[in-house]
Amino acid sequence: MLYPQEFDVIVVGGGHAGTEAALAAARMGCKTLLLTHNIETLGQMSCNPSIGGIGKGHLVKEVDAMGGAMAAATDEAGIQFRILNNSKGPAVRATRAQADRILYKAAIRRRLENQPNLWLFQQAVDDLMVEGDRVVGAVTQVGIRFPARTVVLTAGTFLDGKIHVGLNNYAAGRAGDPPAVSLSSRLKELQLPQGRLKTGTPPRLDGRTIDFSKCLEQPGDGMPGAARVGGSAAMPVFSFMGQASQHPRQVPCWITNTNARTHDIIRSGFDRSPMFTGKIDGVGPRYCPSVEDKINRFADKQSHQIFLEPEGLTTNEFYPNGISTSLPFDIQYALVRSMAGLENAHILRPGYAIEYDYFDPRALKTSFETRAIQGLFFAGQINGTTGYEEAAAQGLFAGINAALQCRGEEAWLPRRDQAYLGVLVDDLITQGVTEPYRMFTSRAEFRLQLREDNADARLTEPARHMGLVDDARWDVFNRKRDAVSRETERLRSIWVNPKNLAATESERVLGRAIEHEYNLADLLRRPDVHYAGLMSLDGGKYASPELADDVSRETDFGKTVIEQVEIAAKYSGYIDRQKDEVERAAHFESLRLPADLDYMQVTALSIEARQKLNKHRPETLGLASRISGVTPATISLLMVHLKKGG
Ligand code: FAD
């Protein structure tokens, strides 16, 4: 049957990429259909029940700054929050939350069900409708043909998915879910370049059978005892619109350790490991290795920390973070029981590895539209990434660009100095992947300006212009932005003379350190000077009349405004230098390369560079410069060639 209505955007897959893609396209006014295997698994966390972390938290904040769902859903579902790297600089500080997976799914589903312009439909998609080189819809398992102007494919680990436990394996998309085999074959027919990757997950444990008295308790920030483990007394929130009062009851995690016996048990299973016996071809995530991989690669290490993370408030299930494994079940059983506190642990679900198809992201345009088929966009794990956050960010991005295409507008691409999202997209389309890609702050060369705390300042305005941000968020954003700029101006207008700094010892120290009159904004740039200290000078005469109330009541608004003013002052020197670098790079970054340029004819370039450029066909000189094997010398020669009108 041909469905009687045409959609602007069809999103296939209701995982983290698919939900953000569908919500974004619908927020932008496009008639959007989310087609997914099972409505019950919308927003399902396939692996660990946690959101955020270093680099990943930055992506979540960016998705949030553009009106996305992940951070707000985490505020409603998070049962333990922590700020990682709290004692380090703000650029690498990151929020991480342990989520109740049932509450998380409910929070995502509620948003999807109540989003205007968005329709949900439960069916497997087995085929794409393609006319010439353009996608025109999707076909489901029972033959319903849904016409659409664009399709965003976010099939995650499901394409030809195969689960391994020891030497046993079976077809699945993840444990308990069917694989997408027909769709995988169809994509192979379309000759999109692809490969196989793998990922894994640990066995889950029944909390009633864990002896927590033998484990170390790890409370989250804002919980009693947080300071004991280096945490903060303040309760973090994820969304720029979030409140700590939205969080459900907070619970601790627990820590145990592997030991020599655990390692012996693991080694005894190597001969039945699908990884070591060549049953698995796909490459796994380097930064999230299986426990057998860790024991094999770091043979000298005596012990590894294992975090026992609660899966929710209404379940006894625990996620033992650190023992992802595809070893046979008898080995899993013994290795779990070899650890302190887990001597009698009952395994509720076995650990496993999954192999799946991914598509080479170098075959995507900068909008994530496939080069081969117009109107077909890819996002999430299908592009060779790993992680909910990377998936959500890509989903938002592909959803935006599918919607822009429907509106007849230019694609949107954030720059590398504007967003981690820009870094992610740029890395994927220029470098491709050789292993599952995850985000790190070290991937961002402009990370001082790409902080979690200023994601809204970087992205809320462009998102508002594209129609992604509602009035409530826009009002909050403007209130904060205006307050920050008023306070910064106020500090610039207040001058203090060292001669007048004598009332207290701290004033005298400051007075001796400055040789002439300074305004408060410049004083704040000094590493040893803090906002609170300036406000207490001269009996508090410089305190902000506007913020004083917020400060005394310790409101989140007052705190965030002051934090922004202080960070901007402290980092202004570095940020100005980075801005100069960005401006210098911007000229050649955005220089467009002719779409029909035959690089094989640019004889000044090496054969390797010519072949690479012909293969990747970068849209701009900036993208060309990041193709691996394309050297700065190649870029200079290419610029000369372009200047000559070549
Ligand atoms: P998914 O979350 O996989 O969602 C895909 C969605 O598409 C599902 O709803 C599915 O039902 C639907 N779908 C697929 N095909 C079709 C079709 N043909 N028709 C209709 N619907 C379809 N990440 C980490 O960061 N660290 C880890 O350690 C880690 N371990 C993992 C272990 C396992 C076993 C698995 C399965 C995943 C793991 N992940 C891990 C990855 C993480 O789950 C993914 O990165 C993330 O879920 C990807 O989001 P996504 O939206 O791209 O895909």
Q: At what angle do helices 572-589 and 556-570 cross, to 10 degrees?
A: 70
Q: For ligand 1, is residue 125 a contact (CB within 6 Å)?
A: yes
Which atom of ligand 1 is nearest to 183's Cα? 18
Cα 95 versus chain centre, distance: 11
Mean pLDDT score, 265-269: 97
Half-sphere exposure of 143 (CA within 13 A, CB side): 1
Cα 265 versus chain centre, distance: 35
Check residue 376 and give its pLDDT. 98
Ligand-binding annotation for 17, yes or no, is yes
Q: Please choose from 54, 352, 388, 437 the residue to mutate so as to test ligand 1's pocket, defined by most ligand atoms within 8 A of CB.
A: 388
* Torsional class of 481: left (φ above 0), alpha (ψ -120 to 50), beta (otherwise): alpha
56-84: per-residue pLDDT in tens? 999 999 999 999 999 999 999 999 999 99
End-to-end CA distance of the chain: 52
What percentage of the chain has pLDDT greater than the value 70?
A: 98
Which one-letter DSSP state was computed for residue 418? Answer: T
Q: Is the pLDDT score of 277 beyond 80?
A: yes
What percentage of the chain has pLDDT greater than the value 90?
A: 71
Contacts 24+ apart (CB under 8 A), 447-451: 447/91, 447/92, 448/91, 448/571, 448/574, 448/575, 448/578, 449/417, 449/575, 449/578, 449/579, 450/58, 450/91, 450/417, 450/418, 450/419, 450/420, 450/423, 451/58, 451/90, 451/91, 451/93, 451/567
**Separation of CA 10 and ligand 1 centre (Å):** 18
Q: For ligand 1, is residue 151 a contact (CB within 6 Å)?
A: no
Ligand-binding annotation for 298, yes or no, is yes
The token pair at 516 is 């002439």
Mean pLDDT score, 158-186: 94
**Separation of CA 452 and ligand 1 centre (Å):** 25
Rounded to the nearest 5 percent, the helix, strand and coil shares of the chain are: 40, 20, 40
Ligand-binding annotation for 363, yes or no, is no
**Separation of CA 246 and ligand 1 centre (Å):** 27
**Separation of CA 586 and ligand 1 centre (Å):** 36
**Separation of CA 391 and ligand 1 centre (Å):** 9
Residues 615, 620, 622: CA angle, nearest 5 degrees: 100
Check residue 623 and give its pLDDT. 87
**Separation of CA 16 and ligand 1 centre (Å):** 8
Ligand-binding annotation for 18, yes or no, is yes
Half-sphere exposure of 265 (CA within 13 A, CB side): 21
**Separation of CA 308 and ligand 1 centre (Å):** 22
Q: Is the pLDDT score of 513 beyond 70?
A: yes
Separation CA 27–CA 472 (nearest Å): 14
Q: Which residue has the tokens 């059983």?
A: 333
Separation CA 645–CA 543 (nearest Å): 60
Q: For ligand 1, is residue 47 a contact (CB within 6 Å)?
A: yes
Check residue 367 and give its pLDDT. 98
Label residue 80 exposed, middle or buried (CB < 10 Å: 0-12, 13-18, 19+). buried
The number of beta carbons lying within 10 Å of the beta carbon of residue 535 is: 18
Ligand-binding annotation for 291, yes or no, is yes
Indicate the range of 222-236, 336-350, 458-472 predicted with least confidence. 222-236
Separation CA 24–CA 390 (nearest Å): 16
491-502: per-residue pLDDT in tens? 999 998 877 777
Q: For ligand 1, is residue 187 a contact (CB within 6 Å)?
A: no
Q: Residue 537: pLDDT band by 50, 70, 90 thresholds?
A: confident
Which atom of ligand 1 is nearest to 123's Cα? 20
Check residue 296 and give its pLDDT. 92
Q: Is the pLDDT score of 132 beyond 80?
A: yes
**Separation of CA 381 and ligand 1 centre (Å):** 7
Helix (H) or strand (E) holding 640: helix 632-643
Q: Residue 553: pLDDT band by 50, 70, 90 thresholds?
A: low
Check residue 552 and give its pLDDT. 63
Q: Is the pLDDT score of 460 beyond 80?
A: yes
86-121: per-residue pLDDT in tens? 888 888 899 999 999 999 999 999 999 999 999 999
Which atom of ligand 1 is nearest to 161's Cα? 36
Q: Greater confidence, 548 or 227? A: 227
Q: Please choose from 381, 396, 424 the residue to mutate so as to test ligand 1's pocket, defined by most ligand atoms within 8 A of CB.
A: 381
Ligand-binding annotation for 307, yes or no, is no
The number of beta carbons lying within 10 Å of the beta carbon of residue 2 is: 13
Check residue 578 and give its pLDDT. 76
Check residue 551 and give its pLDDT. 64
Q: Greater confidence, 162 or 232? A: 162
Ligand-binding annotation for 13, yes or no, is yes
Ligand-binding annotation for 253, yes or no, is no
Mean pLDDT score, 239-251: 96
36-53: per-residue pLDDT in tens? 999 999 999 999 999 999
Check residue 219 and give its pLDDT. 95
Cβ-proximal residues to 584 (8 Å cutoff; 6+ apart), any chain: none
This complex has an ipTM of 0.98
The number of beta carbons lying within 10 Å of the beta carbon of residue 125 is: 26
Comparing C-alpha atoms, which of 97, 98, 72, 87 is closest to residue 230?
87
Q: For ligand 1, is residue 381 a contact (CB within 6 Å)?
A: yes
Cβ-proximal residues to 410 (8 Å cutoff; 6+ apart), any chain: 404
| Under 8 Å between Cβ of 233 and 221 | yes
Q: For ligand 1, is residue 46 a contact (CB within 6 Å)?
A: yes
Q: For ligand 1, is residue 124 a contact (CB within 6 Å)?
A: yes
- Minimum CA distance residue for ligand 1 atom 2: 15
| Under 8 Å between Cβ of 58 and 455 | yes
Separation CA 543–CA 532 (nearest Å): 9
Comparing C-alpha atoms, which of 60, 78, 57, 56 is closest to residue 69?
60
Q: Please choose from 33, 34, 36 the residue to mutate so as to test ligand 1's pocket, defined by most ligand atoms within 8 A of CB.
A: 36
Comparing C-alpha atoms, which of 432, 400, 430 is closest to residue 413?
400
The number of beta carbons lying within 10 Å of the beta carbon of residue 470 is: 12
Which 3 state secondary structure label does DSSP give 99? strand
Check residue 380 and give its pLDDT. 98
Q: Residue 360: pLDDT band by 50, 70, 90 thresholds?
A: very high
Q: For ligand 1, is residue 368 a contact (CB within 6 Å)?
A: no
Which one-letter DSSP state was computed for residue 271? Answer: G
Q: Greater confidence, 526 or 390? A: 390
Which atom of ligand 1 is nearest to 46's Cα? 43
The token pair at 56 is 């990943």
Q: Is the pLDDT score of 412 beyond 80?
A: yes
The token pair at 522 is 């410049």
Helices and strands, number each (H, E), in the chain:
22, 22
The token pair at 170 is 């079976």
DSSP string, 372-389: SSBTEEE-SGGGTB-SHH
Check residue 38 and give its pLDDT. 97
Q: Greater confidence, 48 or 286? A: 48
Comparing C-alpha atoms, which of 34, 36, 38, 33 is closest to residue 5?
33
Which 3 state secondary structure label does DSSP give 104? helix
Q: What one-letter code names the amino acid at 527?
A: P
344-359: per-residue pLDDT in tens? 999 999 999 999 999 9
| Average pLDDT of the residues of the chain | 92
Q: Greater confidence, 639 or 11? A: 11
Ligand-binding annotation for 552, yes or no, is no
Q: Is the pLDDT score of 631 beyond 80?
A: no
Q: For ligand 1, is residue 128 a contact (CB within 6 Å)?
A: no
Which 3 state secondary structure label does DSSP give 115? coil
Ligand-binding annotation for 337, yes or no, is no
**Separation of CA 178 and ligand 1 centre (Å):** 12
Which 3 state secondary structure label does DSSP give 458? helix
Could you give the C-alpha distances from 349 to 201, 279, 324, in angstroms and in order? 10, 22, 12
